[in-house]
A and B are shown apart, each in its own frame.
Chain A
Amino acid sequence: MLRKLCLIVLALALISVFAVSAQDEPQYAGLDQDLSGITIKMANIGGGQYEAMYESISIFEEATGATVEIVALLDGFSMDQKLKVDFATGAADYDVAWDHTSFVAQYTPFLLPLQDYFSDDELAPFSPAILDAATIDGNLYLIPRHADISPIHYRADLYSDEAIAAAYMDATGEALTPPTNLEQIDRQARFFVENGHSTLGYTLAGKEEALTGRFYEMHFASGGSLFDENYEPTFNDEIGVAVAELLAGWYADGIIPSDTTSLLWDGVAQYFCNNDVAIKLEWYGWYAYFQDADSCAVAGNFGLARGFTGLSIGGDAVRPSGWAGAHAFSVPATAPNPEAGVQLIKFLASERVAYEEAALGFLPTRGDVWDRVIADASGAENPLDRERLELARIQVGEDFKTPPLIAEWIPFSNIFYPHLQAVILGDVSAQDGLDAAAAETREMMADAGYYD
């Protein structure tokens, strides 16, 4: 009898241990419905690491009985084109679509609001800042997948050299530490170039939405705003002019590359990879590339710091930069099986799938996944692996800021960036260039019905 009792106690103890350890594992979601016979169509982003997530779909199919058909796997800008055409022609016959916080505002008339399909408990793990960016006019249109934001990247050798630090102290009267604001970046970048310590002081993407976004970020960090509450353009204020003049000065003095206005993300990253740049703001997503010693000279020779605060001209309104975006899932209003699509999204955005994707280097959007990936990085050989994640969590949580959530963001960008390029290249003054951009933007916004 006593022996039997002991066995029962032992069995119960083992069960509870297994139960606790099972709870400690990241969990799937969205597997609790019978979707037998339903085919869920999905149009999603493809290429590279993006597609690793879709391998887990077989688990969803097995558990629910649904069949998932991926009808499109395109890069982000191609997906944007496809969605626009499909929405306009009523051909969006899929249940789950890729989406992005920078693009969603233009799609909202064609998307299903999702707030009624997700409970508060299901939404609680997601970053509130990202959910805010996914909510337009009180409707939640996106369920976040992963995010990105930019920290300062700096060449570590420049900041660890005592001779350079002493020379900098002599020249400026301040200690050489990784910069925290735009004025410091300006001083340090110029010092490094003028004294031959670095070929270039800074780099940034110089065309298309990438340039508009970087300006927005510097302007925002300096206390400015692209538009006022009535959507009147305000980027040509004194803060905007100061930011544009800073960029033009950098170009004229060789602080940024001579082909800046031709550069997009890959070109900018290449300069840093070559060890030619002292400081830059760069997306976290490039980390693995920069740390690859086979590809990049800068591998093992850079540090990260939180995004800069802006120019002091902004006074008390100066704040950390934080132009950010999140890849996400949405459901078209014309989806044949919206409920089944929502179930698939619950699965793909679940803690388990998000954790597996974060392990590839993407920044998660869920708090529970952040805890796990930071704990995993504790044992990493390079301490920067963990520092990076801790810093990213702070930035995504506190600094995440999307561009204005208006459908005219891309048309606005297409008006704005050529004028800013003209300023940078010295074709026009900062004030004239931004004034011209503001006048064209106002006309475009008036046509779109923003003003009475």
Chain B
Amino acid sequence: MATDSNAPTDKAPAQTRFIEVSRIEAGFFPFAMISPAVILILLVVGFPLLYSLYVSFTPYELLKPNSLNFTTARALRNYQKLLNDEVFWRSLWNTIVFLAVTVNLSYALSMALSQLLARVTAGQSLLRTLLMVPMMFAPILVGMQFRWFFNANVGLVNNFLISVGLIQEQGQIAWLVDVPLGMISIMIASIWMNIPVLTIILLAGTLSLPAETFEAAEVDGASGWQKFRFITFPLLAPFSYIALTIMSLDIARAFDIVRIMTDGGPARRTEMLWTYITRLAIEDTKFGLGSAMSWITVSLSVLFTLYFFRQLVKARIVR
């Protein structure tokens, strides 16, 4: 109908032109307004991304400038090399295990903490403030702190175990070396760092839930577990997916922790995609290979995030 009302007539040609110009301007104006931001983002984000994609198809090494040279014959060499690289697959598997365990355990513990906090009637703000403390530490400091905790020689954990008589001085546990203790130590550090932000999101969600639903459930004689299982947990689904999505994107911050605590070792027992990329690209200066691996990692991350977004949308529709 808008087309009809805007149709040019012989009676008012000037007004029609004005309306047409306005329509064009109205169509163009918003794009003009956002174009600086779009151009900036393209320059700052788009160009480096595309350039790194290009680099991933070359044998580029930082100290060999002539190696930044694309040839069709070896364009896929880096990707082929990685697909045949046992260390790559091992680091991918370690990363998946680390993500799965860390994300799920962080979520479960945060959910429990948020439910406990929601029931606190006095001093909740103090507890919330205390809960934020781990967020104040940079991941690199968290890594250093937990490396000291788990140090076999002078670490807090072994010294505690010796003092309570659980282990002998000669039988110190090599937390950062043994399988699976190395991976578990890193996971503990990462979970410690993740819990505050997840708990705050879930606590906010819990406090926003309608009280009437719970009152009705209580009238029907629902137990505490039943209220959590059938009311709180489903209603928190959007908050849960937001928290998990943020965490899955943010989990790469664990790189600093892994780097400081084990640096992927020993014998690649805790090697993850981030540490392997750093070794290839930064230490060995093989930027081409490192870029190819980064692109595989980014693609997997995007797929992972897309899955969470789809679940989030579903959860909102159900609600």
Contacts and interface: CB of A to CB of B under 8 A. Distances in A.
Decide whether A and B are members of one complex: yes
Nearest to A443: B81
Contact of A109 (B63, B169, B177, B285): B63
A252 B315 CA distance: 53
B69 to A, nearest CB: 14
Contacts of A418: 265-268, 271
A168 B277 CA distance: 50
B284 A206 contact: no
Nearest to B61: A448
B284 A410 contact: yes
A386 to B, nearest CB: 32
A267 B153 contact: yes
A421 B59 CA distance: 29
A206 B152 contact: no
B38 to A, nearest CB: 28
A199 B170 contact: yes
B170 A206 contact: no
Interface in A83-114: 84-85, 87-88, 106-107, 109-110
Contact of B267 (A254, A270, A422): A422
Interface stretch (A256-264, A286-294, A295-303): A256-264
B262 interface: yes
Contact of A261 (B169, B177, B282): B177
A36 to B, nearest CB: 36
Interface in A243-299: 254, 257-262, 267, 270-271, 274
Interface in B74-101: none
A412 to B, nearest CB: 9
A447 interface: yes
Interface string A50-94: 000000000000000000000000000000010011011000000
B152 A258 contact: yes
Contacts of B151: 259, 267
A398 interface: no
A250 to B, nearest CB: 14
A271 B151 CA distance: 12
Nearest to B285: A84
Contacts of A207: 263, 265-266
A376 interface: no
Nearest to A90: B65
Interface in A130-180: none
A258 B172 contact: yes
A274 B172 CA distance: 15
A411 B65 CA distance: 18
Interface residues of B, number: 28
A64 to B, nearest CB: 33
B267 A262 contact: no
A13 B125 CA distance: 87
Nearest to A420: B267
A414 interface: yes
A278 to B, nearest CB: 15
B62 A262 contact: no
Interface in B250-298: 262-263, 265-268, 271, 279, 282-286
B303 interface: no
B267 A88 contact: no
Nearest to B276: A414
A425 interface: yes
Contact of A421 (B63, B153, B265, B285): B265
Contacts of A270: 153-154
A421 B174 CA distance: 14
A421 B176 CA distance: 13
B149 to A, nearest CB: 13
A81 B282 contact: yes
Interface string A379-416: 00000000000000000000000000001001100100
Interface string B47-68: 0000000000001001101000
B170 A427 contact: no
B267 A261 contact: yes
A411 B64 CA distance: 14
A110 to B, nearest CB: 8
B284 A262 contact: no
Contacts of B169: 199
A421 B266 contact: yes
B280 to A, nearest CB: 8
Contact of A414 (B65, B153, B279): B279
A422 B268 CA distance: 8
A262 B170 contact: no
A84 B284 CA distance: 11
A262 B282 contact: no
A206 B176 CA distance: 13
A425 B62 contact: no
B181 to A, nearest CB: 11
B125 to A, nearest CB: 41
Contact of B177 (A208, A254, A259, A407): A259
Contacts of B65: 88
A81 B176 CA distance: 27
Contact of A271 (B59, B153, B271, B283): B153
A57 to B, nearest CB: 30
Contact of A88 (B59, B62, B263): B62
Interface in B89-144: none
B152 A262 contact: yes
Interface in B154-169: 154, 169
B91 to A, nearest CB: 11
A420 B173 CA distance: 21
Contact of A407 (B59, B63, B174, B265): B63
Contact of B266 (A206, A257, A274): A206
Interface string B230-264: 00000000000000000000000000000000110
Nearest to A413: B283
A262 B266 contact: yes
B153 A261 contact: no
B215 to A, nearest CB: 55
A257 B286 CA distance: 34
Contact of B153 (A87, A257, A407): A257
Contacts of B286: 411
Given A257-B152, A262-B266, A410-B284, A425 B63 contact: no
Given A259-B174, A261-B177, 10 more contacts: A207-B263, A259-B151, A261-B266, A262-B174, A262-B262, A270-B154, A414-B279, A414-B284, A421-B267, A425-B177
In the A-B complex, the 4 residue pairs with the smallest Cβ-Cβ separation, listed nearest first, are: A261-B266, A259-B152, A422-B267, A421-B267
16 contacts: A85-B62, A106-B63, A199-B169, A258-B173, A259-B172, A261-B177, A261-B267, A262-B152, A262-B177, A270-B153, A271-B153, A410-B283, A411-B283, A418-B267, A419-B267, A425-B267
